[in-house]
Chain A
Amino acid sequence: MIFVSAIAFFVVLLVGLAGLLIAAERWLVNYGVCKIDINAGERSLEVDGGQTLLSALNGAEIWIPSACGGKGSCGYCKVTVLGGAGEVLPTELPYLTRREIRTGVRLACQVKVRQDLTLRIPEELLNVKLFRAAVASTRSVTYDIKEILLRLIDPAEISHRPGQYVQILAPSPDGAVSRAYSISSPVHRPEVVELIVRLVPGGIASTYLHNLREGQEVSFTGPYGEFVLSEEADTEVICVGGGCGMAPMKNIIHTLYQRWPGRSCWLFFGCRTTRDIFYLEEFRALAAEHPSFHVVYALSDPLGPGERWDGQTGFIHLSVDKHLEPAVKRQAFLCGPPPMIDAVTRVLKDKGLRDADIFYDKF
């Protein structure tokens, strides 16, 4: 009898407390409808108050990059709030520089919508959409790198610039996580997105992508990225990649020769061994078609027994140094591990490139 009354008492207490909290939430966390003004009238939203700015913006299909899903642990979801958000919270401080704090930059996942807000969001991010796509094909290009072709379902087309990336939403035990992958398919094929994915042992997204089978559905947001290919046809384009840092370059090169068949372009790609080489035949075929396109692959490890190699050897920045004439009008895009990027940046500066002409993806 005592147990029945104990259980009854506890249940009544819990239901009572829960009811009290729900009532309190109705009454207290009801801020009515708030207006969000973006970029001085460019877009204005009406959202329910009380939620975070990130979820309000996502609800309006404005996809601010966020890798942690609103837990305040990645610091990607930065937006400039000009009014209505109150003071910077201690939870945001680790991710903001002093200059950002002065100019009103906030983490959208920590700001709550309590009144009308005035925001500045980079134009680029307003064009970011959520895409659904189906896997059209997957192909292993080396022992640990796969080329994955996604055919878009909704929206049916993506409008991007070469060098931009998407954020794949990969399921994990703690909810979806998003990871950035560059788009390797050219701009003139807007109905597909191709990714080049290296399998990282224990990596959530790369494992997920490597295990996808044809026909399976994938979601991602995009496009993100600030690289802008020079429109001047006499500017030479230098692409330098290492490891699996090939995706943005493949996109840039194919897009380039679609628009400017005679434009000068160099591709330098550094690998460890012959096992890591991919796309070499394809790029050699392209070079045969376009005399102004030059391909240089280099192996950094000594050849093993039975391996044959007719290209360059040594680290890739040495090849860059050897092949490029100084003082030519150029734009460079680098993609690969940080030490490679640093070494190549030094070489390119010696060749007369300015900081503004060198773009890179470090990973």
Chain B
Amino acid sequence: MDVSEISPWIILLAAIFTSNILLANFLGMCSFLACSRQLATAVGLGAAVVFVMTCTTAINWGIYFGLLVPWKLDFLSFIVFIAVIAAFVQFVEMFVERFSQRLYHALGIFLPLITVNCAILGAALFMVIRKYVFWQSVAFGFGAGVGWALAIILMAGLQQKLRYAKVPRPFQGVAIIMIVTGVMAMAFLGFAGMVRIQ
């Protein structure tokens, strides 16, 4: 089956569950490990990632297939994507800060963290490798963001419970978080049979 024939809905579902960008590809681990201590923070950061990932995948799709490919400059995609993501995040931060204080408090303060979140760049690069068309890319960006947010929110919930657990001393701190992440990744492997995208 040709890639362009896959329904965006299938790609969306697959990006959330079967090839979760965090639990299957292990991208965006740093902010995942650092900001998953509290549920409220995790929800805020997750929402910010969903928004930025959806928008930057769409913008980067336009730049890649509209400018880079016709001019045979596709080898520039890495640095171009990074520059576009950084500029977009800066712009959104200024915009949100100006027009919605409440949204800024909920999302805005996490935006600088996202500038260097490798999951965002990863989503843009996957879309290129897998040769998605525009709507597939948007669905993939959105789905990957939701998948990342889902993982960090689950993790925050687990960490809040873990605070009352008796963790053996050698496993305390980051070690137990890594182990829990691994177990979560294995659990998500159970979805692998549902749909498969490449």
Contact = CB atoms under 8 A, between A and B. Distances in A.
A39 interface: no
Q: Which label, helix, strand, loop or mixed, suits the secondary structure of the B interface?
A: helix
B80 A91 contact: no
A28 interface: yes
Contacts of A18: 87
Contact of A9 (B73, B84, B90, B97): B73
A87 interface: yes
Given A87-B105, A90-B41, A28 B76 contact: no
Interface of A: 2, 5-6, 9-10, 13-14, 17-18, 20-21, 24-25, 28-29, 86-87, 89-91, 112
A9 B94 contact: no
A2 B76 CA distance: 11
Given A17-B84, A28-B98, A29-B98, A6 B75 contact: yes
18 contacts: A2-B73, A5-B71, A5-B73, A6-B75, A9-B67, A9-B73, A10-B76, A13-B83, A17-B83, A18-B87, A24-B91, A28-B94, A29-B98, A86-B101, A86-B105, A89-B105, A90-B109, A91-B109
Contacts of A25: 94
Nearest to B40: A90
Counting contact residues on chain B (CB < 8 A from A), the size range is 20 to 34
Closest 7 CB pairs of A and B: A17-B87, A28-B94, A28-B98, A6-B73, A24-B91, A86-B101, A9-B73
Contacts of A28: 94-95, 97-98
A22 to B, nearest CB: 11
Nearest to A110: B109
Interface in B71-120: 71-73, 75-76, 79-80, 83-84, 87, 90-91, 94-95, 97-98, 101, 105, 109
Contacts of B80: 10, 13
Given A89-B105, A91-B109, A20 B91 contact: yes
B71 A24 contact: no
Nearest to A31: B98
Residue from A13, A25, A87 whose CB has the most chain B CB atoms within 10 Å? A13
B79 A21 contact: no
Contacts of B71: 5, 9
